[in-house]
Structure 1
Amino acid sequence: MSEHIDKHKARRAFSRAAKTYDEAAVLQREVGRRQLERLDLVRLAPRNILDLGCGTGEQAQALLRRYPGARVHALDFALPMLGQARRRGRWRRRPRCICGDMEHLPLADDSIDLLISNLAFQWAADPVQLYRECLRVLSPGGLLMFTTFGPDTLKELRMAWAEVDQTPHVSPFMDMHDLGDILVDAGYAAPVMDVERMVLTYASVDDLMRDLKQIGASNAASGRMRGLTGRGRMQAMRKAYESWRSEGLLPASYEVVYGHAWAPEDKTAPRQVSIPLRQLEG
């Protein structure tokens, strides 16, 4: 992946979107609900839970209800998002809110039994560092459960812009198989990955762009064009996107990747590395 995430740009965008996020986060809310349903299949009684990239705190509140005996930590890199999370809900118990970087977690080794993240991992500048850091804070036998976006996400918007210029206008997303390889290389046990494709529809591309801005999901690719996009290029993109219109509406596709993996019971044991024979030949 030649492009990577400009984390400072992403943090500014999410900070600005804190007050409008819940209004537009229809997809995020639905994916989070489906992710929590998957916990029904897991036998786990966590004492300490981390909601990583918690946003406005809806997932953290659901975790407090699901695990009333656990302590829930809610971490985000955008302080205004944490402000919304602290005000959410009518429950007496609130999550412990932490403003921090998910690639450099301000948490002790082996301190988290369940680390869950809904549609936040795609904002990591260094995915390898992210998954290693998550493993560091997971207790032996702890569970990592996450959702993220795959490369077909917003493919219509990406292709429409590609007809206008060669500058990235959509943030980069990693392939599910590459993510699985990172989990294995990092030392996780029994990783499981699967993908689900979802489509939202809009009357206009401007409505889509408005939703993306309201949730803070603006283009954070490192090679993006700086400054304002010209009116002519915007109009050309709108025209290109129209080729996708069906039954009066424009689609916006999302490739949602679900993943979970376990921290080994013995995190100090040396890992076995398998090298394909063809790499040793010649």
Structure 2
Amino acid sequence: MLQKLDIVKLDVKDILIVPDFPGKHLGALAKRYPKAQLLSVTNEGVSNFQMWSAKALANWRSFFDGSTSKLVGYISTGKFDISDNSVDLIFSDLLLQDLADPKHFLQECWRVLREGGLITFSYLGPDTAKELRSLAVPALKLKNLLSPWDMHDMSDALLAERFSDPVMDMECLTLDYEKPELLLEDVSALKLMHSAPIEMTAMDVLPQKLTLEVVYGHAWAVGKHLAKAKDNVAYIDLNQIGRKTRTDSA
């Protein structure tokens, strides 16, 4: 995701990272944008001390002025604890597949992005863990991705939420394992199975590899003040209508 930002020209003053694992993205983005203030929405299990240490090491502006909130807060309220039009870049890594409604996430991103801002993200696609889904092992209690969207689904959703020029990409990564226990640890960490342990007899049928379909994308928040069309009717806020006065000359 950081490499894909190399092709983007963006004047960044404020960045929202959602989620941060724990402070890892903050450090990388602080190095890339040393003058920016970084706002973090941390994953569950990340302590306040971890984020305090990360901010202290990465970016003094974020240490004093930046804010940190928990992802569970967004999940429960559906809103980021920041004001409208307040960030230039949203950096979201491996989150969307765990959200019941990614469209609502995109709406909230649109709300907090400034005009000309950028959302960049990655998430797990529907072919993730396809080796496990082909097995008939009742003891292996797999969980479906909450949002198994392919990159075409996401591109359509971005356009529907008024984002401009979406760019989508996808790659499949293959992880190889020497022990089935290690594979199960990763499957659990990726929230692809229930936490209940499986019987040791089922270990013998587990594959030695795991496929991750990783979808990448970015899109721009452009034209935030333009009219929004719905049902072939354009709705315009009264505040967007300017008023000209005419002065009669002698």
1:150 is matched with which residue: 125, 136, 143? 125
In structure 2, which of residues 196, 203, 222 is the aligned counterpart of residue 228 of structure 1? 196
1: distance between equivalents of 2:178 and 2:197? 22
Selected match of 1:62 from 28, 40, 56: 28
Q: Distance in 1 between matches of 2:122 and 2:59?
A: 28
Q: Name the residue aligned to 2:186.
A: 211
Task: Note if 1:96 corresponds to 2:67.
Answer: yes
Q: Which runs of no fewer than 5 residues in structure 2 stay unpaired?
A: 233-250
Aligned to 1:128: 103
Q: Distance in 1 between matches of 2:231 and 2:215?
A: 25
Distance of aligned partners of 1:97 and 1:47 in 2 relative to their CA distance in 1, 3 Å threshold: same
Do the aligned partners of residues 262 and 239 (structure 1) sit closer, same or farther apart at CA in structure 2, a change above 3 Å counting? same
Asked if 2 retains the 8 angstrom alpha-carbon contact of 1:141 and 1:262, the reply is yes
Q: Please state which structure has a larger fraction of its residues in strand.
A: 2
Q: Say which structure, 1 or 2, has more relative contact order (CA 8 Å, 6+ apart).
A: 1
Residue 167 (structure 1) shift: 8.3
Displacement of 1:265 in angstroms is 2.9
- TM value normalised by structure 2: 0.78
Residue aligning to 1:48: 14
SS of residue matched to 2:2: helix
Which is greater in Rg? 2
Q: What amino acid is the match of 2:167?
A: V
Instruction: Write the distance in 2 (CA, Å) between the matches of 1:164 and 1:43.
Output: 49
Aligned to 1:277: none
Measured in 2, the distance between the counterparts of 1:255 and 1:195 equals: 7
- Does the residue aligned with 2:57 lie in a helix, a strand or coil? coil
Q: TM-score, normalised by structure 1?
A: 0.70
Structure 1 pair 153–132 and aligned structure 2 pair: CA distance change class (3 A): same
The verdict on how the C-alpha distance between 1:192 and 1:166 changes in structure 2, with shifts beyond 3 A counting, is farther
**Which of 186, 195, 206 is 1:241 aligned to?**
206
Which of 98-107 and 65-74 deviates more?
98-107
**C-alpha separation between the residues in 1 aligned to 2:47 and 2:21?**
5
1:36 paired residue number? 2
Identity of aligned residues (%): 32
Higher helix fraction (1 or 2): 1
Does the alignment pair 1:261 with 2:234?
Answer: no
> Does 2:130 align with 1:164?
no
Deviation of 1:119 after TM superposition, in Å, equals 1.2
- In structure 2, the partner of 1:9 is none
| Displacement of 1:65 | 1.1
Looking at structure 2, the residues matched to 92 and 181 of structure 1 have their Cα atoms a distance apart, in angstroms, of: 36
User: How far is the alpha carbon of 1:128 from its aligned partner?
Assistant: 1.2
Contact 2:140–2:198 under 8 Å retained in 1: no
**Residue 91 and residue 107 in structure 1: after superposition, are their counterparts in 2 closer, same or farther (change >3 A)?**
closer
> 2: distance between equivalents of 1:39 and 1:120?
18
Q: Number of residues paired by the alignment?
A: 221
Per-residue deviation, residues 59-95 of structure 1 (Å, max 9, x unmatched): 1111111111110101125263554232237345245
Report the Cα offset of residue 239 of structure 1.
3.4
CA deviations on 1:231-257 (whole Å, 9 max, x unpaired) are 2xx633x33324xxxxxxx11111110
Flag the 1:128–1:92 CA change in 2: closer, same or farther, 3 A: closer
Deviation at 1:104, TM superposition (A): 1.6
Contact 1:75–1:97, Cα closer than 8 Å, also in 2: yes
CA shift for structure 1 position 166: 10
RMSD: 2.5
